[in-house]
Amino acid sequence: MHIIFDDVYRSCVIGRYKRDFTQKENHQGGYLRGCHKIYKVYALYGLLYQYKECDNFPDYDSVELLRLYNERLSKKGTQPRKYYNELIKRSPDRKCLLCHVGEASTLDHFLPKDIFPSLSISYNNLIPACDYCNRTKSKYYSLTKEQQLIHPLFDLFYNHNWLKATYSERDNVIYFDINYAPYTIEYARALFHVKKFGLLETYSAKSISLVKEIVGIAIDHDLSLSDVIEIKRRMLIRRSTSAAKSKYTIDLWKWLTLEALEASIVFMNNGKDIFGSISIFEMSSATYE
């Protein structure tokens, strides 16, 4: 399905009816198309913190612009809803493009629609997101370069390992950190993003589940940890051939976990003893009356 803005706009305004635009609708479409394109330029250069809502358009009507999204594009059963459903699929494995862990169940307005109504139906501004990230981000937008969230559609962070991981031999936990030089804009932005959504802690917790799984397979099938890690790596390689970006997004924490384990002599030699007796699931041991 090839999507262009004019088709989305026509669907939101006219839907299934066979009629031409009114003069006002035609002018409004040109205005929104211009905002859609200008936004992309700002996003490509990492300048969305400078983007301003252009509300001096003669027929500017924020209520109508929000209606195009709230009552048309996002509303189930409407003709334009097909575009909404297609946009959610822009993420590998239907994962949230903000945290790469949760299931993408909604579209988040990267620049909030209540403040930037002209971008309400711009698919450049619509990000597949999970409910948690959508609520956490809410109406946030940055006024400084350093506190911009990572834009998953236009920023270049997801072209390489923007995070790194280390296996701690002291407490047997994998810690994640930013893989940029401190005091750079990239470091500041990546750090702000992971703090906003609590990603370092989330990835650390998920990595330990993967470690337990690796150790369990090695013990149950009498394999070396190295063999199981290689099996897991081959599975990730297969996934990356289907979606190249997955290596640096939804699967990044898995890749980094495998690398961190292999880099630890202590784990490779003693991992079965360390994790073999640990419960696969972490649950409270509290009892209740």
β-bridge partners, 168: 173
pTM given for the model: 0.92
**Pick from 12-21, 22-31, 117-126, 173-182: least confident:** 12-21
Residue 91 — pLDDT band, cuts 50, 70, 90?
confident
What letter represents residue 60's amino acid?
Y
pLDDT tops 80 at residue 247: yes
CA atoms within 13 A on the CB side of 79: 12
**Pick from 52-56, 71-75, 235-239: least confident:** 52-56
% of the chain at pLDDT higher than 90: 88
- Residue 283: the pLDDT is 53
Q: Name which of 96, 248, 226, 93 is nearest 234 in CA terms.
A: 226
β-bridge partners, 127: 108
What letter represents residue 109's amino acid?
H
- Residue 16: the pLDDT is 80
d(CA 9, CA 73): 9
- Residue 68: the pLDDT is 97
Average pLDDT of the segment spanning 141-166: 97
